[in-house]
Amino acid sequence: MAAATPAPAKKGAKKRKIADVQDSAAAPASAANSTPSDASDKPAPKKARVDAKPAATSKAKAKGKGKPKPKGKGNNSKTGKARATTAADASDASSTTSTEEALMLDEINGWGWKEVAIPEGALLTGADDMGGFMCLEELSGVDVVTKEYAGRAGKQIVFKKTKSFKPVKSKEATLEEGLDDEMMAKMGFVHVDTVLPDDDPEVVKRLAREDAKRRAMEQQGSGDGSGDESDAADHVADMTLDSDSEHGDVSDDADGDVHMSDANSDNVDEEVDEEEDSDDADSVRDPPTVDADADSASNDEDAADADDDDAEAASASAQPEPVDPSAPVSRPELPEPEGIDGMSAWTKVAPTINPWLLKGLADLGFTEPTAIQAQTLPAALMKRQNVVGAAETGSGKTLAFGLPILDYLASSDVVIKHPVGLVLSPTRELAMQISDHLRAVIKPFSYSHKLNRVNIITLVGGFSEEKQRRLIASSPHIIVATPGRLWDLLESGQLDGDHVRNVPFFVLDEADKMLEKGKFKELENLIGMMTKEESTTEWQSNFKVLPSAVKVQKPPRKRQMFVFSATLPTSGPTYSFRGKEITLKLLLKKLNLKTFETVDVTGSNKTTSNLIEAKIDCVPEEKDIHLYYLLTRYPGRTLVFVNSIASIRRLVPLLSLLRLPVYPLHAQMQQRQRMKNLERFAANENGILIASDVASRGLDIKNIEHVIHYQVPMTSDLYVHRSGRTARANASGLSIVLVAPKELPAYRKICDQLDKTSLKEFPIEHQYMREFRKRFNLARRIESAEHTVAKKSHDDSWLKRAAEALEVDLEANDSDEDEGERRKRIRHETMVDSLKAELNAVLDKTILPKGASKKYLRPELAQALNSATNSVMPASSTTATYDLKALRKKLTKKLP
């Protein structure tokens, strides 16, 4: 049995545009059994900003790019194999239909059909199975049917035309010329060169308005002055996605994919790879360049005006000047952006702030600065001072240090072609979030003109180095990185040391964490590299930098530094980390930061006033039940922090069995999975993230309602950061700590360090706990039985593999034992099934009485928490005994 497929498409031309995306989607696949497909067969290009219609055809297709030459059209019955034919071969010009449909059928005829083998019975079991075969039934007017062969077994696929088509009367598309623009427009194509550079409806509308205005002006005063023309050309260039040859490369990336995504698309996307790809594409697409289009447009005009006799001279003068790539390129003059009238609160603290940043802030709804921003900007943006900043979690520190960098970029007269900002973050997720946040603010400026594109890249572990190399090559303006990955890239010579050493802005976010002794060796190396005046052999040997990696020739420019955290000890002599006292002085000495402004807007207890804090005393064995109770009783986006990855691995399957939407997050997970889980958590309003402290700092996920500390955190700083994932940006939130008797000393220390007498006892409805316990215990039993089955089958397969490797006949030696084991496994499996049935039956019933409020922060609960007079330690019932025991133990130890 055989089916037909067109010959593989020719490799597309190098200069591919948006229309080609559609084309490649519609191009026939070359794999066996694959067939010509409609554009819908392949996913649309990620974030393509143009709705190029109709999807199944394209300008490039019409031109014949990538289209196989018609061949093998004749009858091949001689071969004895089936051949797909199309009834559209017999053209019928009598009736009229849309040119689009006609073109499609024309295409089918045009593809060079060839035979490929299909395994007997795999596809052609009946006409019913043909539905969607090759996606051709998507084409209006084509049916896919099978036909018995005359006189022999087997079936034949036939594409049957069900409508008549009038061939396109206008100029026929040829491989060389394609359809003319008029024809393309009639068919509903959007010319790729008119595609706007953004899918943001606001920007699209504004650019369209400006375009209309400009056209009207051009028509009115046509010919008067070249300035207008060059403006117009500039604008067209601005709106062009990839009209010059430099952009041809976009389509030719390693994956063969064309990426036409939003310039700000470093967002967490479905696939990490895609996300990075899109970032790559963006970066490659838009390096700051001389606007050659505008130049050549006006030069062409000049040449056209020249006297014929002087044609040669005119054409010589029309040659564009050779461009020195290192020469500064001026930024276009931009009009004042609209919609920034209500932003005076910002200009009050930073009068010179670039209006395009105000526009970005206004678009985000940030009409006034937060306290840390209001106090940082005068020093950082107006006076260009170093700033050491401390402010509560969720109080907007990212923009406090980000705005001065963005302002520098937006206010430069010339196009900047090198990195100006380096932001270091302790975790990958936080680094990506910082990049996204900065991009969101600079977006209107970035899209105001092609030359204004601000390129922010993220360099973190977990992504392929190849992709990160491509990002580095994309002329980034701001690099947001984790120290480890940045150092790797420097050490291996992939990132030029000068890029890092000469940045005029350097940010250390979560600085206290970053500077923990021994935690970030790479950071110490980086700081050493950045703070040394000159490259010396001593320095190089100290930090083991490959000489090729760091080409430091000159001392760094004056650099502005930002050192930020929610838990920086700006006042008071010291702060402690795991028993070690660290002074701020020591911290700043490491950074070689001698002069700086301190901005500290943290309250005495370091947590935000919108945070309601409570605790639950319970013995370790009861923690699971209490957790289950809280998660079920009060649904809402909840982040559960645990102290060990083992706890995550234990809790996630149990809570999943109990039908809770739980997602794990810890450092041993693959980066792709980490991103996916964060995405899922952020998308599910009742989502539950069970995380290690990798999620404790900086993560800004909207509307996290509750944070639960399953175990008492090791330090008060950690408690502050964990709790700070809720109650962000003026929202309210609840943090609950589950305290086991053994954890009381750690808990007390935290309270002490944060100036809290104690936390309020969270009210538990004990009458329901029995039922919660019953359900949880069922889940535990299922888990344990499943574990036994899984372990057994794992052991078996290991044994089998080992036996195979040793060429031992397992069956013969172990058959008796196998039988016993097999019975055991069946018993376990049966038990799992019946336990599951039991659990499902109880889960179908609700525990809470009808009408019980499920709102966590319902007023009476908040009231109860606030008014509780819990001045003594919470575990009042257990504290005394616990303390006594502990004391006795201590005393006994001291005795000789």
Q: Which residues bind ligand ATP (CB under 6 A)?
A: 366, 369-370, 373, 391, 393-399, 566, 698, 700, 724, 728-729
Question: How many beta carbons lie within 10 A of that of residue 555, not counting itself?
Answer: 12
Of the pair 118, 507, the CB lying nearest ligand ATP is at 507
Q: Where do we find the tokens 């369209």?
A: 208
Residue 143: strand, helix, or coil: strand
Q: Report in angstroms how near the CB of residue 387 gets to ligand ATP at its nearest.
A: 14
Query: In this structure, are residues 861 and 853 in contact, taking their beta carbons and an 8 Å threshold?
Result: no
Q: Report in angstroms how near the CB of residue 16 gets to ligand ATP at its nearest.
A: 37
Of the pair 429, 786, the CB lying nearest ligand ATP is at 429
Q: Report in angstroms how near the CB of residue 483 gets to ligand ATP at its nearest.
A: 17
Q: Report in angstroms how near the CB of residue 437 gets to ligand ATP at its nearest.
A: 6
Of the pair 750, 875, the CB lying nearest ligand ATP is at 750
Of the pair 397, 501, the CB lying nearest ligand ATP is at 397
Query: In this structure, are residues 437 and 482 in contact, taking their beta carbons and an 8 Å threshold?
Result: no
Of the pair 116, 382, the CB lying nearest ligand ATP is at 382
CA dihedral 547, 553, 555, 560 (to 10 degrees): -70
Q: Tokens at residue 350, please?
A: 């930073």
Of the pair 35, 398, the CB lying nearest ligand ATP is at 398
Q: What does DSSP assign to residue 739?
A: E
- Between CA 504 and CA 500 the distance in angstroms is 9
Q: Report in angstroms how near the CB of residue 700 gets to ligand ATP at its nearest.
A: 4
Q: Report in angstroms how near the CB of residue 706 gets to ligand ATP at its nearest.
A: 16
Of the pair 284, 566, the CB lying nearest ligand ATP is at 566
**Residue 645 exposure: Cα atoms within 13 Å on the Cβ side:** 6
Q: Report in angstroms how near the CB of residue 398 gets to ligand ATP at its nearest.
A: 3
Task: Identify the H or E element spanning 682.
Answer: helix 671-683
- Between CA 329 and CA 315 the distance in angstroms is 25
- Between CA 226 and CA 302 the distance in angstroms is 9
- Between CA 117 and CA 518 the distance in angstroms is 62
- Between CA 184 and CA 22 the distance in angstroms is 14
Strands (E), 419-535: 421-424, 456-459, 478-481, 505-508
Query: In this structure, are residues 350 and 337 in contact, taking their beta carbons and an 8 Å threshold?
Result: no
- Between CA 213 and CA 198 the distance in angstroms is 19
What are the residues facing 564 on neighbouring strands?
A: 389
Q: What does DSSP assign to residue 271?
A: S
Residue 448: strand, helix, or coil: coil
Of the pair 496, 717, the CB lying nearest ligand ATP is at 717
Of the pair 470, 728, the CB lying nearest ligand ATP is at 728
- Between CA 212 and CA 227 the distance in angstroms is 17
Q: Report in angstroms how near the CB of residue 346 gets to ligand ATP at its nearest.
A: 8
Q: Report in angstroms how near the CB of residue 361 gets to ligand ATP at its nearest.
A: 7
- Between CA 217 and CA 74 the distance in angstroms is 58
Q: Report in angstroms how near the CB of residue 391 gets to ligand ATP at its nearest.
A: 6
- Between CA 887 and CA 748 the distance in angstroms is 16
Of the pair 57, 264, the CB lying nearest ligand ATP is at 264
Q: Report in angstroms how near the CB of residue 507 gets to ligand ATP at its nearest.
A: 11
C-alpha distances in Å from residue 112, one per residue of 5, 133, 168, 213, 476: 8, 18, 20, 48, 45
Of the pair 499, 606, the CB lying nearest ligand ATP is at 606
- Between CA 731 and CA 823 the distance in angstroms is 57
Residue 121 one-letter amino acid: G
Q: Where do we find the tokens 């923690």?
A: 623
Q: Where do we find the tokens 């209107």?
A: 444
Of the pair 391, 832, the CB lying nearest ligand ATP is at 391
What are the residues facing 737 on neighbouring strands?
A: 615, 709
Of the pair 13, 440, the CB lying nearest ligand ATP is at 440
Q: Report in angstroms how near the CB of residue 814 gets to ligand ATP at its nearest.
A: 57
Q: Report in angstroms how near the CB of residue 399 gets to ligand ATP at its nearest.
A: 5
